[in-house]
């Protein structure tokens, strides 16, 4: 049976365009909705959600390779990374985690850097500071050297349980990865969501290293999505949902390796996982953000425009607003904006500062105080 990399069209792949384009439209809508909600949050809340997503991404992408990096250990490693210095008493596990964290952060936050073979080699070497994976000595910092393209699929197992996976021969990897990197670094190649899913698949098919390929695939995927969001903080973890469906993940990858180049099933499944990650992020934002309707007193009603703007003032960095900005945000006339604002003044939710064209409006001190009590 031919492998996908042995078909004549490789590395060109195909998919059901109508089916996939519909999913892409839905995902982009979901991504835009998340970004809209992020823009209404304070910096502290954004950083909290982003930090939690980062820890889960690092932990779960390693767990996909049977490396158990617990969330607390990853958080400690991130603290060391941010302090720009290792601990003097680091054990072997800490050094492994620190190596991965260093590689992951380098991948995520150097968006203007072209991904090169040398950079991938450095990241993979960081994963395995002692050149060992479980019971096995492995080659790090170089493409896989085997001649037959047979590599272990279950790292960390005892030698007698070592399984083998068929992948492109080691002698072809220089050319395979050169083609991949040219495509990956080309900003015009494929929609970014398709590119994200295909980059993950390409790495898992080519298997350029003896170990660490899943982490490389996850990192390159995350990097594309971060660039897509114009450097907004990343608040979702795709690896978390790959890990939750780990068995299907590896079964589907093997189906693709043995396929004819049609990757519709892979794209559909991978996009479903991205959608789940988006849903989880939205829920976290909802849980951490304060809603004006939870803290105002009285039996009066607020219209949707008022709720939207007030929530932005509660959770975002901008605490004052004028009628012109209100009008633009809610897409109503200036007179309607003034009417909304005056209604909130009458209900003792907003207070006026200044007069005439210079008039601005802020939350009443009692509303801001109640928000602080709600979040405490």
pLDDT of residue 99: 93
Closest listed residue to residue 36, CA positions, set 214, 220, 353, 285: 285
- For the chain, the structural domain boundaries read 4-288, 292-375
144 close to 121: Cβ distance less than 8 angstroms? no
**CA proximity to 194, closest of 61, 25, 30:** 25
Contacts of 206 by beta carbon, 8 Å cutoff, 6+ apart: 5, 167, 168, 173, 176, 177, 180
Predicted local distance difference test score (pLDDT) of residue 147? 60
**pTM of the full structure:** 0.77
Could you say which architecture CATH assigns to the domain 292-375?
Orthogonal Bundle (1.10)
Ranges of the chain whose pLDDT falls below 50: 154-162, 372-376
pLDDT on residue 368: 59
Contacts of 71 (CB under 8 A, 6+ apart): 55, 56, 59
CA distance 344 to 341: 5
CA distances from 142 to 115, 133, 154, 212 (A): 15, 15, 20, 12
* CATH class belonging to 4-288: mainly alpha
pLDDT of res. 159? 41
pLDDT tens-digit profile of 313-353? 877 666 789 999 999 888 999 999 999 999 999 988 899 99
Q: What is the largest CA-CA distance in the chain?
A: 82
Whether 292-375 and 4-288 are alike in CATH topology: the answer is: no
Q: Check if the beta carbon of residue 16 is closer than 8 Å to that of residue 197.
A: no
Ramachandran class of 230: left when φ > 0, alpha when ψ lies in -120 to 50, beta otherwise: left
Task: For Cα atoms 212, 172, 167, give the angle at the middle one, nearest 5 degrees.
Answer: 50
Cα-Cα-Cα-Cα dihedral of 343, 344, 350, 355, to 10°? -20
Answer for the pair 243, 63: CB distance below 8 angstroms, yes or no.
yes
CB 87 within 8 A of CB 202: no
């Amino acid at each position: 049976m031919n492998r996908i990399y042995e078909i004549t069209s490789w590395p060109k792949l195909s998919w059901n365009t109508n089916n996939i384009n519909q999913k892409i439209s839905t995902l982009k809508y979901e991504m835009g909705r998340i970004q809209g909600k992020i823009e209404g949050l304070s910096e502290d809340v954004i950083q909290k959600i982003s930090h939690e997503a980062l820890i889960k991404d690092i932990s779960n992408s390693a767990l996909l390779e049977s490396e158990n990096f617990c969330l607390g250990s990853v958080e400690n490693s991130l603290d060391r990374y941010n302090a720009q210095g290792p601990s003097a008493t680091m054990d072997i596990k800490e050094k492994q985690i620190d190596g991965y964290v260093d590689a992951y952060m380098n991948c995520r936050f150097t968006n203007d850097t072209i991904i090169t073979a040398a950079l991938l080699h450095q990241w993979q070497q960081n994963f395995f500071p002692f050149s060992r994976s479980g019971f096995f000595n492995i080659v790090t910092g170089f493409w896989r050297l085997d001649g037959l393209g047979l590599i272990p699929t279950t790292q960390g197992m005892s030698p007698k349980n070592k399984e083998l996976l068929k992948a492109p021969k080691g002698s072809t990897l220089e050319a395979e990865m050169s083609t991949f990197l040219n495509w990956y670094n080309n900003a015009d190649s494929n929609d970014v969501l398709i590119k994200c899913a295909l980059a993950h698949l390409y790495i898992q098919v080519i298997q350029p290293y003896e170990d660490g390929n899943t982490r490389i695939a996850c990192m390159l995927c995350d990097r594309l999505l971060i660039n897509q969001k114009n450097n907004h903080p990343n608040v979702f973890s795709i690896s978390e949902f790959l890990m939750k469906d780990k068995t299907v993940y590896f079964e589907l990858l093997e189906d693709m390796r043995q396929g004819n180049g049609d990757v519709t099933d892979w794209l559909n499944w991978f996009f479903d996982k991205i959608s789940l990650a988006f849903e989880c992020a939205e829920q976290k934002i909802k849980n951490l953000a304060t809603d004006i309707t939870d803290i105002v007193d009285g039996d009066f009603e607020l219209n949707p425009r008022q709720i939207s703007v007030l929530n932005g003032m509660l959770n975002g960095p901008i605490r004052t607003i004028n009628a012109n900005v209100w009008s633009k945000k809610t897409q109503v006339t200036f007179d309607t904006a003034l009417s909304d604002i005056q209604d909130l003044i009458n209900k003792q939710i907003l207070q006026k500062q200044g007069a005439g064209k210079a008039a601005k409006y802020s939350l009443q001190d009692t509303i801001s105080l109640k928000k602080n009590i709600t979040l405490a």
